[in-house]
């Protein structure tokens, strides 16, 4: 099993509407792309200054399933249309469970 974790920090000019649209698009990935055994995405709770704005955690049965997700055209379209335009920083890690 492989866990994929991504932290997104949005740019200062990313308004609430753009952030909400990005979150909604990311939340559709399990239905539109699939391949994961669990999926969660949500905004930071605002408990500490300096945190990323949004976190995504997805589990995949194996590396091949994650690779299919990573290369899927719908996934890439969500990144291009909703994430990159408002992205200031991104950090990600994949690790075996």
- Domains annotated for the chain, with CATH where assigned, are 2-96 (3.30.70.100)
For residues 62-89, give the mean pLDDT: 98
Q: What is the pLDDT of residues 2-11, one digit of tens each?
A: 999 999 999 9
For residues 27-54, give the mean pLDDT: 97
pLDDT band at 33 (very low <50, low <70, confident <90, very high): very high
Joined tokens for residue 3: 């866990």
Q: Give dist(CA 79, CA 77) in Å, integer.
A: 5
Q: What is the pLDDT of residues 11-32, one digit of tens each?
A: 999 999 999 999 999 999 999 9
Contact call for residues 8 and 88 (beta carbons, < 8 A)? no
Q: Give dist(CA 13, CA 36) in Å, integer.
A: 32
pLDDT band at 73 (very low <50, low <70, confident <90, very high): very high
Which parts of 1-86 are beta strand (E)? 2-10, 38-43, 54-60
Contact call for residues 78 and 25 (beta carbons, < 8 A)? yes
Q: Hey, which residues does 2 pair with through a beta bridge? A: 60, 96
């Amino acid at each position: 099993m492989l866990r994929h974790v991504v932290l997104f920090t949005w740019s200062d000019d990313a308004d609430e509407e753009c952030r909400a649209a990005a979150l909604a698009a990311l939340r559709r990935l399990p239905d539109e792309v699939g391949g994961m055994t669990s999926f969660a995405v949500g905004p930071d709770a605002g408990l500490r200054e300096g945190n990323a704005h949004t976190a995504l955690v997805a589990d995949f049965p194996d590396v091949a399933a994650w690779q299919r997700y990573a290369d899927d055209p719908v996934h890439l379209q969500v990144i291009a249309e909703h994430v990159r335009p408002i992205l200031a920083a991104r950090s990600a890690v994949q690790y075996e469970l």
